[in-house]
């Protein structure tokens, strides 16, 4: 993994940290949002927070795909998982997301056949191998994972695999960002743009952020040096009074994205008129369903689901955390009623979730120094 090591060089990291310090206006406090959960994870995993000056604050955004799934959708998934003959598949960190009555892991303990997969293709393979079972894939994620679901569905259709279906919870990144920017209680100076999503959609869709909302965007990779360099690029834009979309992750992200992936997505998916986001409420045109051409694979049409909207628990402030209005530790139930062992809100479930990441990795940085 030589390719990766080059982006984890501690000496280079200190050098960039020094440049960041030099780029900071001492009279200012900077709030920068990293949109993507992958960045949140990297920031904690490598202790990047530790290398930044006090007045550069990173705010964790809504880009953790697990964290934004509302309880009602989890309940629907659990109901399908309990159907006789169903093998219910999903990504690992979805298993512990609480619905209104337990998690998929609990459903498994009660007898449902719930299996963790790494890719929708694994779910399709199970369907191929077990033609007498109904295999359902609970699809989540932004434009990052949507193409792999789309490809899997194309393959399922080509092979005529009738016992495979998908609960589509795919979402798109731009509508929630717009919703955040419209939010009156939000105060952000700039955005670290989502690298993986951008490999698919490109940099162009983010141009509305500088144009309409006057905030700079730097699309960033996921190695610690990438994140540090992106912070530096944002600070330089702010210092020089520039405001544009820059691409720090040019080694992977083409400006126009992956045209082929976008085509396949356009073929397999269609926009839902609105979709509920955990903590953010309903956002117009933010969710994807299967297109009419693929309706035969739509698990929501194949199985009866409760389809009930479940309000987020009252004490849970995931929405405000996702909007960057409060820090994880400022939530009323953080670390007491809501812990990684017994999460109330989704932000506490995935290691990409702002609360879980802070609970697992970040507490120390703000508690006591090692002696």
Partner 1 sequence: MTSRAGSRTAGTGPVTAAGGSELAQAGGRSRDDRESRILSIIETARAKRAKFRDERITMAHGAGGKATQSLIEGLLVPALAADGGALATLADAGAVAEDLALTTDAYVVRPLRFPGGSIGELAVNGTVNDLAVAGARPLALSLSLILEEGLPADELRAEVEAIARAAAAAGVEVVTGDTKVVERGHADGMYVTTAGVGRRDPRARLSPQSLRPGDRVLVSGSIGEHGTAIMLARGEFELDADVASDTRSLWPAVDALLDAAGPALRCLRDATRGGVASVLNELARASGVAVTVREGDVPVRPVVAGAAEILGIDPMYVANEGVLVAFVAPEAADAALAALQATAGGEQAAAIGEVRSEPPGMVLVETAFGGRRIMDQLVGDPLPRIC
Q: Which of residues 275-304 bind partner 1 (CB under 8 A)?
A: none
Q: Which candidate, 1, 3, 7, places its Cα nearest to that of 224? A: 7
Q: Which residues of 185-220 are buried (b: 16+ CB within 10 A; e: fewer)?
A: eeebbbbbbbbbbbbbbbbebbeebbeebebbbbbb
Q: Which two tokens stand for residue 258?
A: 């992956």
What residues numbered 307-366 form the site for partner 1, per CB under 8 A?
327, 329-330, 334-336, 340-341, 350-352, 359-366
Nearest approach in angstroms of CB 319 to partner 1 is 18
Q: Cβ distance 245 to 217 under 8 Å?
A: yes
Phi and psi at 69, nearest 5°, equal: -80, 120
Which C-beta is closer to partner 1: that of 94 or that of 245?
94
Binding-residue pattern over the window 139 to 178 for partner 1, x denoting contact by CB under 8 A: -xx--xx---------------------------------
CA nearest neighbour of 235 among 48, 29, 63, 11: 29
Of 51, 200, 218, 261, the one binding partner 1 by CB under 8 A: 51
Minimum gap (Å) between residue 161 Cβ and partner 1: 18
Site track for partner 1 across 64-103, x = CB under 8 A: -xx------------------------xxxxxx-------
Query: Whole-number minimum distance, CB 64 to partner 1, in Å?
Result: 9
Integer angstrom CA distances of residue 116 from 105, 135, 165, 349 = 10, 12, 16, 16
Residue 22 contacts partner 1 per CB under 8 A: no
Residue 171 in contact with residue 287, Cβ under 8 Å?
Answer: yes
**220 contributes a contact to partner 1 by CB under 8 A:** no
Comparing CB distances to partner 1, the nearer of 294 and 361 is: 361
Window contacting partner 1 (CB under 8 A); options: 106-114, 128-136, 166-174, 285-293: 106-114
* Pick 31 or 302: Cβ nearer partner 1: 31
- Can you tell me which of 56, 81, 136, 264 binds partner 1, judged by CB under 8 A? 56
* Longest Cα separation, the chain: 67
Shortest CB 4 distance to partner 1, Å: 7
Per DSSP, 311 falls in state P
Q: How far apart are CB 270 and partner 1 at their closest, in Å?
A: 23
**Least separation, in Å, of the C-beta of 9 and partner 1?**
8
Nearer to partner 1, 94 or 268 (CB): 94
Q: How far is the CB of 293 from partner 1 (least distance, A)?
A: 26
Closest contact distance (angstroms) between CB of 234 and partner 1 is 13
In 10 A of CB 174, how many CB atoms? 17
CA distance 41 to 47: 10
Cα–Cα distance between 122 and 149 in angstroms, integer? Answer: 11
For residue 67 the two structure tokens come to 């964290």
């Amino acid at each position: 993994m030589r390719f990766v090591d080059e982006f984890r060089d501690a000496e280079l990291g200190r050098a960039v940290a020094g440049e960041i310090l030099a780029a900071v206006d001492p009279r200012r406090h900077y709030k920068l949002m990293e949109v993507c959960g992958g960045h949140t994870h990297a920031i904690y995993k490598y202790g990047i927070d530790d290398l930044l000056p006090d007045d550069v604050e990173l705010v964790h955004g809504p880009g953790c795909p697990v964290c934004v799934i509302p309880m009602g959708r989890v309940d629907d998934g659990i109901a399908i998982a309990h159907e006789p003959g169903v093998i219910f598949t999903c990504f690992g960190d979805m298993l512990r997301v609480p619905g209104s009555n337990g998690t998929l892991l609990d459903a498994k303990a009660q007898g449902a056949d719930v299996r963790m997969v790494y890719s929708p293709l694994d779910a399709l393979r199970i369907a191929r191998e077990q033609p007498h079972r109904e295999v359902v894939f609970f699809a989540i994620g932004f434009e990052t994972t949507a193409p792999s679901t789309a490809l899997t569905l194309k393959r399922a259709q080509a092979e005529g695999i009738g016992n495979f279906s998908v609960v589509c919870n795919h979402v798109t990144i731009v509508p929630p960002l717009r919703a955040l920017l419209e939010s009156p209680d939000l105060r952000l100076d700039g955005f670290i743009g989502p690298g993986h999503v951008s490999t698919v959609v490109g940099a162009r869709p983010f141009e509305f952020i500088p144009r309409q909302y006057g905030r700079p965007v730097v699309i960033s990779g996921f190695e610690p040096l990438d994140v540090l360099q992106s912070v530096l690029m944002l600070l330089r834009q702010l210092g020089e009074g520039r405001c544009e979309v820059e691409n720090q992750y040019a080694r992977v992200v083409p400006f126009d994205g992956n045209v082929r992936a976008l085509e396949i997505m356009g073929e397999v998916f269609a926009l839902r008129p609105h979709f509920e986001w955990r903590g953010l409420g309903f956002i117009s045109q933010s969710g994807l369903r299967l297109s009419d051409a693929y309706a035969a694979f739509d698990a929501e049409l194949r199985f009866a689901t409760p389809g009930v909207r479940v309000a987020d628990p009252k004490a849970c402030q995931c929405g405000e955390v996702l909007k960057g209005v409060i820090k994880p530790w400022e939530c009323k139930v953080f670390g007491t009623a809501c812990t990684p062992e017994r999460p109330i809100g989704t932000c506490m479930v995935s290691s990409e979730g702002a609360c879980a990441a802070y609970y697992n990795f970040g507490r120390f940085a703000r508690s006591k120094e090692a002696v």
